[in-house]
Amino acid sequence: MFKGAIRIFGVDPGLRRCGWGVIESEGSRLSFVDCGVVATDASDGLAERLAELHRGLADAIAAARPHEAAVEETFVNRDPRSALKLGQARGAALASLSLAGLPVAEYAANLVKKTVVGVGHAEKAQIAAMVRLLLPLSGAPSADAADALAVAICHAQHRGARMRAAVA
């Protein structure tokens, strides 16, 4: 258990664009650290794209030096091929976080949206606006990076609630 600020690495998995975001949480105070996107080339083979996701995330993790991580869960998609590709990208992200020795929490997309926006079916623009409001120093991150920051914010909120319940 950490005392003081906890650095959280959030991931919004995707094979084409995988968003990541880092925040610090100290009590109820949240602060922006960094964010970005690992993009892959659709003309590359699947194995190379997954390796690129791993390398990009591993570099970001090494630079950020987080204490914990959180990843958005895969939602069921109408297109089985898209769902499979998303699941594979998510697997690469989970492996990258685990190989870095981070404890990883997973959150459903609706829970992330409800935690950050207050509505479980919020649009990407609403998520980005709330992320900018909650983390004023984050500027205007890309939609994928904003989603990853939202995952980190969700983890900070739920982590804090779990810790308060454990103390009570």
Q: Is 79 labeled as catalytic in the residue annotation?
A: no
Q: Is 59 labeled as catalytic in the residue annotation?
A: no
Q: H helices of 100-142, where?
A: 109-116, 124-134
Paired residues of 23 in beta bridges: 8, 32
Q: Is 12 labeled as catalytic in the residue annotation?
A: yes
Three-state DSSP at 106 gives strand
Paired residues of 56 in beta bridges: none
Q: Are 129 and 45 in contact (CB under 8 A)?
A: no
Question: Which residue among 12, 24, 52, 68 is the active-site one?
Answer: 12
Q: What are phi and psi of 29, to 5 degrees?
A: -85, 130
* Active site residues per annotation: 12, 72, 144
